[in-house]
Structure 1
Amino acid sequence: MKRLRGMLAIAVVCLGTGLVIGTTWSSQADGEDAITPGSVQDPVVTKSYVEQQVAALVKAELAKQGTGGGEKPDSAASSSQYEVVSVPLGKKLIAKDSAEFVVRAGKAIAYVPDTNGIADLTEGTDITDGKTVPTNHQILIPRGGRGIMSAEGAKAGLVVLVRGAYVLQAQE
Structure 2
Amino acid sequence: MNKNWAKLIMTVALISTVIVAGSTWSSQADGEDASTPGSVQDPIVTKSYVEQQVAALVKAEMAKQGSGSGSSGDKEQVGGGAEYKVVSVPLGKKLIAKGSAEFVVRAGKPVAFVPDTNGIANLTEGTDLTNGMTVPINHQILVPRSGRGIMSAEGAKAGLVVMVRGPYELQAQE
- Displacement of 1:62 in angstroms is 1.4
Distance 2:114 2:168 in 1: 14
State the Cα distance separating 1:78 from its structure 2 match: 2.9
Corresponding residue number in structure 1 for 2:104: 102
Contact 2:100 2:144 in 1 (8 A): yes
* CA distance in 2 between partners of 1:164 and 1:150 (Å): 20
- Which residue in 2 is equivalent to 1:78? 81
**2:155 aligned partner:** 153
From 62, 70, 85, give the equivalent of 2:66.
Answer: 62
Distance 2:140 2:105 in 1: 8
Unpaired runs of at least 5, structure 2 = 1-59, 70-75
Partner of 2:135: 133
Gaps of 5+ in 1: 1-54
Taking structure 2 as the reference length, the TM-score comes to: 0.57
State the SS of the aligned residue for 2:66: helix
Q: Residue type matched to 1:135 in 2?
A: I
Deviation at 1:85, TM superposition (A): 0.1
Q: What SS is found at the alignment partner of 2:146?
A: coil
TM-score using structure 1 length: 0.58
* Distance in structure 1 (CA, Å) of the matches to 2:110 and 2:172: 15
> How many pairs are equivalent?
108
4+ residue runs over 2 A deviation: none
Amino acid at match of 2:107: A
Percent identical pairs in the alignment equals: 75
